[in-house]
Chains A and B, each alone.
Chain A
C-alpha cells in the first residue's frame, strides 16, 4: 500500500473508534445538547453533555450517522472532553481537533472530522431547557463552507 501511517485514514485506531465507538448513545442526565450536519455528505452528529456545577464536562455522548471519519472523530472527541472544563473545551480549536485525529486529511474531508467538534463547541453554549443557542463559536482554521 502506497500510503504511510500519517496518510492512512483507515488505520486501526480510527476503524476501532468507528466500529466500537466511545459513548455512542444518549447521556443519562444531559444538561447541554446540540446537533448539526454536513449537507454535502449527509453526516449527522448529535451531542449530549452533562456539565456540572464546577463547569466541568462530567459525561459526553454522541449519536450520529455518516462516514468513518465523522463518526470515529466524534468518538475520539467524546473521550477527550470528558473531565475537561468548559473553558478547556472552548480552547480546543479546530487545529487541535485535526491533530488529535492524526491521519492527514484533505480539506474536503477535514469537514467530516470537524463536524463533531463544531457540534461540541455549540453544545457548551446550548443548555437544555435554557435559552436557545446563542451565536455560534468563532474560530480560525480551515474554512467550513459547503460546496453544493
Chain B
C-alpha cells in the first residue's frame, strides 16, 4: 500500500477552529464527519461573524435612513464583493444572492426560460445531475413544450465530449450541468462543454455547488453564462446561495419573484423593476447568512483552494486504497485521479441505509440513499449508495477508520450466511 508521506495541508492546524469536530457521539465515539457534500461544518470565525452581526450591526438593508441600517448594508454589500472576487466575476451586480443553488437554478429556468424558450427548443442536461438541476427544466418543459435531453454517462461515470457534440443542435437553447457530480465526484470538462455549447448558440448554466467550495472558480476563464452555488457547502450558513449571471443576460431577463426591493417604482397600474442586482432580490434578503458567507470566503482564501483540492484528492485516493479489497464493494464513478473528494460505493449487502446506520454507531457520518440523483442511480443499476465526502479538515486517520468499519460491516453479514 502506498503511504502518502506529506499532505498538501495539515488538517490538524484547522480542526481547532471547528467546535463541532471536537465532539463525541454515542458516548465515546469521536465524530468523524464525512458528509461534506451534503453540507460542511462552520469555523469559529463564521459563527462569531453571525453572532456579532446580531449583537451589534443588524438592521434591514437598503432601507433605513439610520446608522444601523448603513452598518448592515455595508456588510451585506461587502459580502457581495467578496463573492465577486472569489469567482472572478467582472461586476458585483452580476452576483445575485439567493437561498441556495436550487433557487438560483429555478430563477434562471423561470425567468430566462419562460422568456426565451418555446415549444421545439431543447434543454441539454446530463444523466448525472442532481434533482435540482433536472426538475426546474422539466417544469419549464411542462410550461413551454420544450424538450429536455440528457448527455449519457460512461460506465465509469464520465461525460464523453463526442456525445455532447452529437446532442447539440441549433435547437439547443441551454446546456445545464454540474461542474462536479455530487454522487460520483466526477470533474466534468466545463470549459470544453461551454465552448461546444456556445458554438451552436446555446447558453450554459454551471451547477457549481460541488466545485466552488473545493477548487478555484473563474467564471471569466470558463466563459459561463450562469453559475450557481450554495453557502452551506462552503463553511457558510444555510439559507444563502449565489447566482452569477452575465450582465447583459440578467438585464434582459424579467424579474423572478415580485415584492419589495426588486422595484424602482410601483403604481396601481403596474411596476418598474429595479436595476441589478436588486431586480432579482425581492423581499428582505438572507442578510446575516450572506455576511456569514463572506466570512467563510475569507477563511477559505486563508486556507487556499489549491491546497484544499489537492488534500481532498489525497483523501479520496486513500479511501479507494483502503476499501478496494473489501468483499462485494463496488465504487461508483471514475478513478480518484479524475474526481474530487467524493467517494460513493455500494456493497452486495447490506443496503446503503444499513451501512450508514452501522457506520453512525462508530461515530462516522456518511450519506446513504440516492443523494437526490435518482436517474443517475437508475443508470447505474442501483437504488441507493453510500457516500463519503471529504473536506480539508478531514484526516487520513478518519479515512482509514472508514475503511476498517466498512470491512467490519461486510464481515458481520458474511458470518451470518
Q: Which of B365-413 contact A (CB under 8 A)?
A: 368-370, 372, 374, 377, 382-384, 412
A10 to B356, CA, bound (A): 13
* A42 contacts across to B, CB distance below 8 A: 370, 377, 382-384
A67–B417 CB distance below 8 A = no
A43–B351 CB distance below 8 A = yes
* B368 contacts across to A, CB distance below 8 A: 41
* B350 contacts across to A, CB distance below 8 A: 67-68
A2–B361 CB distance below 8 A = yes
* A41 contacts across to B, CB distance below 8 A: 351-353, 368-370, 383-384
A68–B27 CB distance below 8 A = no
Which residue in chain B gives the minimum CB-CB distance to A10? Answer: B358
Is the C-beta of B357 less than 8 angstroms from some C-beta in chain A? yes
Q: In angstroms, how far is the closest chain B Cβ from the Cβ of A129?
A: 30
A65 to B27, CA, bound (A): 33
Is the C-beta of A138 less than 8 angstroms from some C-beta in chain B? no
A10 to B416, CA, bound (A): 12
Which residue in chain B gives the minimum CB-CB distance to A37? Answer: B383
What count of chain B residues pass the 8 Å CB interface test?
A: 25
* B28 contacts across to A, CB distance below 8 A: 2
B416–A67 CB distance below 8 A = no
Q: In angstroms, how far is the closest chain A Cβ from the Cβ of B328?
A: 16
* B361 contacts across to A, CB distance below 8 A: 1-3
Contact A19 B370, CB 8 Å, known A41-B353, A148-B131: no
A65 to B346, CA, bound (A): 14
A-B interface pairs (CB < 8 A), number: 51
A97 to B252, CA, bound (A): 57
B353–A148 CB distance below 8 A = no
A66 to B368, CA, bound (A): 13
* A69 contacts across to B, CB distance below 8 A: 353-354
Is the C-beta of B265 less than 8 angstroms from some C-beta in chain A? no
A9 to B416, CA, bound (A): 16
Is the C-beta of A86 less than 8 angstroms from some C-beta in chain B? no
Count chain A CB atoms within 10 A of each CB in B352, B361, B368 and give the residue with the most.
B361
Which residue in chain B gives the minimum CB-CB distance to A8? Answer: B361
Is the C-beta of A40 less than 8 angstroms from some C-beta in chain B? yes
A3 to B383, CA, bound (A): 29
Is the C-beta of A112 less than 8 angstroms from some C-beta in chain B? yes
Is the C-beta of B26 less than 8 angstroms from some C-beta in chain A? yes
* Contact string against A for B residues 332-360, beta-carbon threshold 8 Å, 1 for contact and 0 otherwise: 00000000000000000011111001100
A42 to B350, CA, bound (A): 13
* A40 contacts across to B, CB distance below 8 A: 369-370
Which residue in chain A gives the minimum CB-CB distance to B131? Answer: A148
A39 to B382, CA, bound (A): 12
A80 to B266, CA, bound (A): 67
A41 to B357, CA, bound (A): 13
Which residue in chain A gives the minimum CB-CB distance to B350? Answer: A68
* B383 contacts across to A, CB distance below 8 A: 41-43, 65
Q: Which B residues contact A (CB, under 8 angstroms)? A: 26-29, 131, 350-354, 357-358, 361, 368-370, 372, 374, 377, 382-384, 412, 416-417
Q: Which A residues contact B (CB, under 8 angstroms)? A: 1-3, 9-10, 15, 19, 39-43, 65-70, 109, 112, 148
Can you list 26 A-B contacts (CB < 8 A)?
Answer: A1-B361, A2-B27, A2-B29, A2-B361, A19-B417, A40-B369, A40-B370, A41-B353, A41-B370, A42-B377, A42-B382, A42-B383, A43-B351, A43-B383, A65-B383, A66-B351, A67-B350, A67-B351, A67-B352, A68-B351, A68-B354, A69-B353, A109-B357, A112-B353, A148-B131, A148-B372
Known: A41-B351, A41-B369, A41-B370. 18 other contacts (CB 8 A): A2-B26, A2-B29, A10-B358, A10-B412, A19-B416, A41-B368, A41-B384, A42-B370, A42-B383, A43-B383, A65-B383, A68-B350, A68-B354, A69-B353, A69-B354, A70-B351, A109-B357, A148-B372
